Amino acid sequence: MNIINLFSNEGYIDAQYGEFYHGKEKEVASIFGAKNIGFHLEILNPKTFTCPYHYHTEEEEICLVIEGEAILRVNNEFRKVKAGDLIYHGTNEKSAHHMYNHTEKPFKFLAMSTKFPEEKCFYPDSRKIMDRKLKTITQDGQPAAYFKDEETPAQYWPEEALLGRVPEGTKA
C-alpha cells in the first residue's frame, strides 16, 4: 500500500544548492514508482527560496501548503501563502513562479506536476532555457549551469516582499 503522511517529518534528505536554496526534500513520486506525475514534499528553511523563478511549456503544477507561511511570486506579482492554500501554475510565461520563506520557521509544501518528455522550462530572471528532451540548459544560446545568474535571487524581489509585507493570497 502506498501511503505517506504529509505531516510527518521523517524520510527527508537535505537539499542545499548554494546559500539561498536549501531545506529538505522527500521524493514521493520515486518512492511510489510514479511514471506520469512528479511529486515531492519540500521543507524550505527560513530566509531561503524554492528553485529559481521559472515557467513550463508542457507541465502543469500544483503546490499544497502544509505548514508555515511564504511569499509566492507569480508573473512578478507577490502574495503571502499559508497552510491550506492550493496553488496552480499553468504552462505559459504568465505562470512564472517561485517562493521565498520570509519567516523564521520552516515552510512545508507538496509540489505535484505532470511529466512530459518534450518539456521546456524557461527562467526569466537569468534568461536560461532547460530542454528536457535534449537534456540541455542554455543561456543566450550557450551552455550554462542551472544556477548561473541565480546565485542571489533576492536581487529580483522588492524589499517589501522579502520582508513579508504583501497581501495574502486570494481565496477561490
Give the model's confidence band at 64: pLDDT under 50 very low, under 70 low, under 90 confident, else very high.
Answer: very high
99/78 Cα distance (integer angstroms) = 9
Does 106 have pLDDT greater than 70? yes
Does 171 have pLDDT greater than 70? no
Summarised one tens digit per residue, pLDDT across range 110-151 is 999 999 999 999 999 999 999 999 999 999 999 999 999 999
pTM higher than 0.85, yes or no? yes
71/17 Cα distance (integer angstroms) = 19
State phi, psi for 117 to the nearest 5 degrees: -65, -20
- Residues near 125 by beta carbon (within 8 Å), at least 6 away in sequence: 52, 53, 149, 150, 153, 156
Does 169 have pLDDT greater than 90? no
Give the pLDDT confidence score for residue 170 in this predicted structure: 61
Give the model's confidence band at 84: pLDDT under 50 very low, under 70 low, under 90 confident, else very high.
Answer: very high
Percentage of residues of the chain with pLDDT beyond 70:
98
What region, left, alpha or beta, does residue 84 occupy, with left being phi > 0 and alpha being psi -120 to 50 degrees? left
Give the pLDDT confidence score for residue 16 in this predicted structure: 87
Give the model's confidence band at 23: pLDDT under 50 very low, under 70 low, under 90 confident, else very high.
Answer: very high
Cell numbers describing residue 118: 518534450
Taking the CB of residue 53, how many other CB atoms lie within 10 A of it? 22
Does 52 have pLDDT greater than 60? yes
Give the model's confidence band at 172: pLDDT under 50 very low, under 70 low, under 90 confident, else very high.
Answer: very low
Burial 63-98 (b: 16+ CB within 10 A, else e): bbbbbbbbbbbbeeebbbbeeebebebebeeebbbb
Strands 37-44, 107-114: pairing is: antiparallel
Mean pLDDT of the region 32-43? 94
Strands 136-139, 142-143: pairing is: antiparallel
Domains of the chain: 13-162 (2.60.120.10)
Strands 107-114, 120-123: pairing is: unpaired
